[in-house]
Structure 1
Amino acid sequence: MSAILSSMKQAFSNRNLMVITLTQSLFMLTASLWWPYWSLYIQHLGASVTLLGVIFMSEMLFQLLFQLPGGYLTDRLGRKKVIVLGSICRGVSPVIYLLTGSWEWVVVGMFFTQASNMMIPAIDALIAESVTKENRGLGYGAFRMMTLLPQIFTAFIGGVIMDWIGIIPGVRLTIGLTLAAAWINVFIRWRYLNDTYDPLKVVGTQRHSPIDALKNAGKVPRSIWYLIVVAAFSAFAFRLVNNFMAIYATQELHLTNTQWGMVTMTVMVVSTLLTIPGSIISDRFGRKPGIMASLGLLPAQFFGFTIAGGFTGLLGARFLGGVSEGFGGAVTGIEGGSAWLALVADMVPANQRGMVMGLIGTMAGLLSLPGSTLGGYMYDNMTPETPFYAAACSGLAAFLVFTLFVKEPKTKAD
């Protein structure tokens, strides 16, 4: 315990890491009140499960539009400017959600939400450059743990709110809190972040455009392509089922919104408790063991949904997901956890880091793009369990490719 506290103190002695962590924690404190019920909210606005899949695929398309530009701007403009710009976009989407009341306008709001994700390569690069290369796993882990802490009880509180006043008014109420948090973050990040990278001092790579990055994708080292394939299989598994978990839990297993909130809270507790120990293991014993553990638990979690039968079984399945998240190796969206991000940072030099992180997110996103639509179609036209079986198979493929082909670099990049 003393080693963990000492490591935490060391990580948060850095101003950038403190600012980015506290602001992200504030945002997540409010957003996690309604995120677990977002699919149910859109369904209440009139969308079928199949249409939900199309909506979330559209969101993924928006996400991809900004991945490579985000990485390019990160290396061209510096980390801070891109983070502030992305934070402004994040403050726009709640305005749209609150001023409108149809699923069509939800799609418009999603565009600005995904535009905000252009700052993800910048945040990842900022963290990597704000700590020593020996403590990168700890830096990412400290960031992740502190952003998870506020979510431990909010999903449960959100479920109580949804059961108390209903899904639509409950989600709109909590989005109002997110709106306030988003604009507070804009000011704090603009005022207190220090940039870690001056593009004017680096020649060559900062002049490469996003189109150049795609043209030169074939020149990316084989090790990065292996990571892209792993990320694609992992993200595809996630997209097949993630947006339908709440629907499956409440409509097929007949959990209340409060019970679903309790399940989500359990995941947060488990993943939060394991994040720092998992990051320390990553720094001391290598990235690969923790990533293998994360990827290996993914198919078990997804298969667990199909045999859950009720609240207790579903709690067990999601417990495995919490352990997976805690080790920081699975890619569940456009980026992975602390061990995954540290491995990428170890492989890529600073002047290419933003672009390569953007490239990995873009390529993995393109390859996993049909996941939401296919999952929704399977859910509506086959059985509700079918997308979970498919996700388990895709998660197993990610584990096998990583285990067999990915090797850690002998020398870590600066």
Structure 2
Amino acid sequence: MSDASQPSRNQNIKILTVRSLLYGIFQRIFMVIRQPFILSLNPSVAVMGFLEGLGGFQGLIPAFFQPFFGWISDRMQRKPFIVLGSILMELSLILFFVSGLTSNFFLIVPAVILTATSLLSIPIIDSLIAESVEKSQRSVAYNKILLATMAPGIFSPFIGGILADRFGFISVLAIGIVIQFIIIFLLVSFLNEGPFEKGAVNFSELRLFILRNFSPSRHLRNLYWMNAIDAISVGLGPLILYGLLRLQFNYSNSQLGILATVNAVSMVLTQIVISRRISNYVTKKLLLLNSVGYLVYVLGIAVSNNFLIFLLLEILMGILIALWNPAHKTLLANSVNKSARAEAMGRVTLYRGIFGFPAAFIGGILYEHFGYSAPLWGCFIFGIALTYYIYFHIHIKDKRLIEK
């Protein structure tokens, strides 16, 4: 990267940080109220799980969209697709708002689909971050962006929960519409393209692209299977946890907001502590530590009915996420060429979506037929499988994936 590109590179990180901060304000609220809002329109838990599996943040639709648009952006430009993702999210929020205003559940389905489609920009943003800093600074940059996304969680979920309890869900959705409009303005006006060589889109390569998705390079394959196992475990319970807590313990939106706030505070404090040393943690030991910590978390939410225990468990989960996300993204970014980086990051979502899609639906069915703890014990079993897989099949050297 040339020195001439330094101002635009610095501006990209600044704009993406501000975008993440604004997005985080609403995303953390939306994460808390989305499932209670959907349940307020009287679908079954299984239907809610199906919608989460179809269009949630690790759903089937983003699973297919992210690798494809990542592949295209590797050959064209990053900015148009990042802007497109924000526009689709705005349309989604408008549909959610109208659904709440009219108490019409059927508008939820296209709203969820639009939310899912908007997530096409995630691997593209991750790639633009990597291209806007030197290699040695990637972990720090990812951590900075994640910190900006999570920092609003210190206050926004609790405030959002209070607003939802006092003024209804649509008051929160209206705030989200305004925030998303500001994000679109910032991206259109100030975001620059990344400093990378653009190629031509040759759709005759599409068949090879599809084959690569289902037959990835050997040194990356185990990472994708690790994510697939994790997606099944997360989908069975944690993905629908706020809905389960609302139904099982009748927690208010404010209480769910407190849980999300504690999670965010834990995550932010952990990131502040490790922000300058995160690149040192790209190791197999970290992956194993996270998987064991996840087992403790799932076991706790499966056997507890105490709100204080749930608070302590959210502290643990915040620490685990803060360690996992930047290290995981850095490991993948270091293990591929920049010309295929967005495609590779999108492929993580593909594997998570394909295998996680039925998990949330199955988790809902298990809850309806066997009670609250049934889907969570399923999470625990797959968590054990994840720990086993990491120990025997994930190999890292010099912060890159290797074959053995």
TM-score scaled by structure 1?
A: 0.87
Q: For the residues of structure 2 that align with 1:174 and 1:26, how far apart are their CA atoms?
A: 14
Q: How many residue pairs end up in the alignment? A: 389
Aligned to 1:96: 95
The 5 Å alignment of 1:108-123 reads 108-123=110-125
* 1:213–1:359 contact (8 Å) kept in structure 2: no
Q: For the residues of structure 2 that align with 1:133 and 1:28, how far apart are their CA atoms?
A: 26
Letter in 2 for 1:29: I
Equivalent of 2:174 in 173, 176, 184 = 176
Aligned to 2:29: 33
Moved more, 277-286 or 78-87: 277-286
Q: Find out whether 1:293 has 2:289 as its counterpart.
A: yes
Equivalent of 1:124 in 123, 126, 129 = 126
Letter in 1 for 2:43: A
* 2:153–2:260 contact (8 Å) kept in structure 1: no
Q: For the residues of structure 1 that align with 2:399 and 2:298, how far apart are their CA atoms?
A: 36
Unaligned runs of 5+ in 2: 1-5
Aligned to 1:333: none
Letter in 2 for 1:236: I
Q: Find out whether 1:390 has 2:389 as its counterpart.
A: no
Instruction: Give 1:182 shift.
Output: 1.1
CA shift digits 1:351-394 (9 cap, x unpaired): 01111112222123212221111000001011211111111222
Aligned to 1:3: none
Instruction: Give 1:142 shift.
Output: 0.7
Letter in 2 for 1:129: E
Instruction: Give 1:254 shift.
Output: 4.2
Q: Find out whether 1:250 has 2:252 as its counterpart.
A: no
Q: For the residues of structure 1 that align with 2:120 and 2:294, how far apart are their CA atoms?
A: 27
Equivalent of 1:229 in 225, 236, 239 = 225
Q: 1:411 to 1:271 in 2, by over 3 A?
A: closer
Over the matched positions of the two proteins, sequence identity in percent amounts to: 22
Structure number with the bigger relative contact order (C-alpha 8 A, sep ≥ 6) is 2
Q: 1:237 to 1:210 in 2, by over 3 A?
A: farther
Q: For the residues of structure 2 that align with 1:288 and 1:280, how far apart are their CA atoms?
A: 19
* 2:60–2:356 contact (8 Å) kept in structure 1: no
Aligned to 2:3: none
Q: For the residues of structure 2 that align with 1:239 and 1:375, how far apart are their CA atoms?
A: 7
* 1:229–1:398 contact (8 Å) kept in structure 2: no
* 1:29–1:150 contact (8 Å) kept in structure 2: yes
Q: 1:292 to 1:210 in 2, by over 3 A?
A: farther
Q: For the residues of structure 1 that align with 2:285 and 2:291, how far apart are their CA atoms?
A: 10
Q: For the residues of structure 2 that align with 1:96 and 1:247, how far apart are their CA atoms?
A: 21
The secondary structure found in structure 1 opposite 2:74 is helix
Moved more, 346-355 or 207-216: 207-216
Q: 1:53 to 1:210 in 2, by over 3 A?
A: farther
* 1:43–1:49 contact (8 Å) kept in structure 2: yes
Instruction: Give 1:267 shift.
Output: 0.6
Aligned to 1:149: 151
Unaligned runs of 5+ in 1: 1-9, 330-336
Aligned to 1:367: 355
Q: 1:162 to 1:126 in 2, by over 3 A?
A: same
Moved more, 70-79 or 398-407: 398-407
* 1:138–1:276 contact (8 Å) kept in structure 2: no
Task: Tell me how large the CA RMSD over aligned residues is.
Answer: 2.4
Aligned to 2:345: 357
* 1:133–1:412 contact (8 Å) kept in structure 2: no
Aligned to 2:65: 66
CA shift digits 1:233-255 (9 cap, x unpaired): 11222211134322332332343
